[in-house]
Amino acid sequence: MKTSMKLIAAAALMLPLMTTTAFARNQIQIVGSSTVFPFSSLVAEKFGKTSGFKTPVVEATGTGGGMKLFCSGIGERHPDIANASRRIKAKEVENCVKNGISPVEIKVGFDGIVLANAAEAATFILTKKQIFMALAKVLPNAEGKLIDNPYKKWSDIDPSLPDTKIEVLGPPPTSGTRDAFVELAMEGGAVQFETLAALKKSDKRKFKAVAHGIREDGAFIEAGENDNLIVQKLKANHSALGIFGFSFLDQNADQIKGATINGAEPSFDNIADGSYGISRALYYYVKKEHIGIIPGLKEFTEEYLSEKAMGEDGYLLDKGLIPLDEDTLEEIISNAENLTIVNLDAE
């Protein structure tokens, strides 16, 4: 979006003066991604115990839902921070700008998206193409014509896969995890079909509709924004797989296991070095207009990016966060200190 920076600057000039009574709240409010939720919750807990400020309130609303709340306005009725398991979208920036908001972007690390099942259940070794074949709403047949997904069992896709019905618990469309999953896994599988690879070149919009279309016949079950709930359901249902962030696998490794995808296991090292192909950056966005008004907002960011939180032995790494490299972290810290607003044209 070529005009994002100009729009934000213009909105700042037009922003009406806010009275101090509009900012009576003295506790940070955070909404957004269920994947980033455990990391922000831990920082909030540490911050509340050591900073002298109140412990921030953190709510898992999903990335899309959090962005909608975050960009809806300025003042005590609106949240200060939005967690996101994907980068803010251009239309979300535009909505923020329209409401006089300048979002400061903080990248906090990386996370893998896993397909996991109960530790005692069958082991899955999958490719992205097989994932697409299992979950796509429509697939090309031998003649290249799109048909409704015919597969009922994993073994229908490939005899080497478990002879169990396809049953996957996953996030709803408002989730950043869902956004990243369809872009990284589903699209990655779709292009393995010649007809769909050609469609991507000739009609990107139609390709995206096919590649992102998730089946609605019961094989994929929307399980809400609570990833912990998906983990609990997998323990009870050994036939099902779940889709969620690596940190939830890491924290429950004694009870669930992740599928190998395109030859790589979902592990800390494989996500960090890029060999695990379904991984994404994690962010949170701070409302610049609330800094200096909502007590502790700037200090909370300092805690999040501190050595004790994100360093080599940081408590966020113990929680499963894949850290930024040192140079990137230094850049992010500088952006946070300077309150650098998001610039979608930079990448």
Per-residue pLDDT at 1 exceeds 60: no
pLDDT > 70 in the chain, percent: 93
Q: If pLDDT is split at 50, 70 and 90, which confidence band does 255 have?
A: very high
Classify domain 4-111+282-346 by CATH number.
3.40.190.10
pLDDT of residue 231: 84
Q: What's the average model confidence in pLDDT over 302-309?
A: 95
Per-residue pLDDT at 17 exceeds 50: no
pLDDT of residue 4: 53
Per-residue pLDDT at 3 exceeds 70: no
The rounded radius of gyration (Å) of the Cα atoms in the chain is: 21
Checking DSSP bridges between strand 241-245 and strand 168-170, what pairing results, if any? Answer: parallel
Candidates 101, 92, 76; CA nearest to 11 is 101
Helix 4-14 / helix 90-98 crossing angle, nearest 10 deg: 20
The least confident of 64-68, 140-144, 195-199, 204-208 is 140-144
Per-residue pLDDT at 24 exceeds 90: no
Provide the sign of the torsion angle of the four alpha carbons 148, 150, 152, 155, taken in this order: negative
pLDDT of residue 346: 58
Alpha carbon 244 to its chain centroid, in Å, reads 9
The least confident of 55-64, 114-123, 160-169, 174-183 is 174-183
Q: If pLDDT is split at 50, 70 and 90, which confidence band does 155 have?
A: very high
Q: If pLDDT is split at 50, 70 and 90, which confidence band does 347 have?
A: low
Per-residue pLDDT at 195 exceeds 90: yes
Strand locations in the chain (E)? 29-32, 57-58, 81-84, 103-118, 125-126, 138-140, 146-148, 168-170, 220-222, 241-245, 256-258, 260-261, 279-287
Per-residue pLDDT at 55 exceeds 70: yes
Sequence ranges of the domains in the chain: 4-111+282-346, 112-279
The per-residue pLDDT of the chain, averaged, comes to: 90
Q: If pLDDT is split at 50, 70 and 90, which confidence band does 19 have?
A: very low
pLDDT of residue 2: 47
Per-residue pLDDT at 29 exceeds 90: yes
Classify domain 112-279 by CATH number.
3.40.190.10
Per-residue pLDDT at 172 exceeds 80: yes
Per-residue pLDDT at 227 exceeds 80: no
Phi, psi of 140 (to 5 degrees): -80, 135
pLDDT of residue 240: 95
Burial state string for 149-169 with b = 16 or more CB within 10 A and e = fewer than 16: bebeebeebeeebeebebbbb
pLDDT of residue 235: 87
**CA max distance for the chain:** 67
pTM of the predicted model, to two decimals?
0.80
Q: What's the average model confidence in pLDDT over 76-85?
A: 96
Per-residue pLDDT at 186 exceeds 60: yes
Strand locations in 65-102 (E)? 81-84
Domains 4-111+282-346 and 112-279 equal at CATH topology level: yes
Per-residue pLDDT at 212 exceeds 50: yes
Asked if 41 and 300 touch (Cβ cutoff 8 Å), the reply is no
